[in-house]
């Protein structure tokens, strides 16, 4: 799988995608972005974001107050975790 850690605030939008395997995104304290995540399986997050029980493979919302857009897509699992 792919693992990316955001240790500082990104200046612009970011896109992460894979067609096979999982994606794990680590987010340091104070780093904010607007998340758009779409998984073929499931999206899990350590952050309090609204979850649509009818769409466990989608998760959208502001992380740490929001910021540049972070788009994450995978045919596998996606995990958004606090560092």
As beta bridge partners, residue 79 has 24, 44
Q: What pLDDT is attached to residue 56?
A: 77
* 15-49 b/e (C-beta count within 10 Å ≥ 16 → b): ebeeeeebbbbbbeeebbbbbbbbbeeebebeeee
Average pLDDT over residues 16-26: 93
- Centre a 10 Å sphere on the Cβ of residue 73 and count the other Cβ atoms it contains: 17
Q: pTM value? A: 0.90
- Please tell me the predicted confidence (pLDDT) of residue 30: 93
């Amino acid at each position: 799988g792919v693992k990316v850690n955001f240790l500082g605030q990104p200046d612009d939008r970011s896109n992460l995608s894979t067609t096979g395997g999982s994606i794990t995104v680590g987010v340091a304290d104070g780093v904010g972005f607007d998340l758009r995540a779409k998984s073929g399986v499931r999206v899990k997050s350590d952050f309090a974001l609204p979850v649509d029980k009818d769409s466990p493979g989608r998760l959208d919302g502001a992380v740490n107050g929001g910021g540049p857009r972070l788009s994450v897509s995978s045919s596998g699992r996606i995990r958004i975790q606090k560092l």
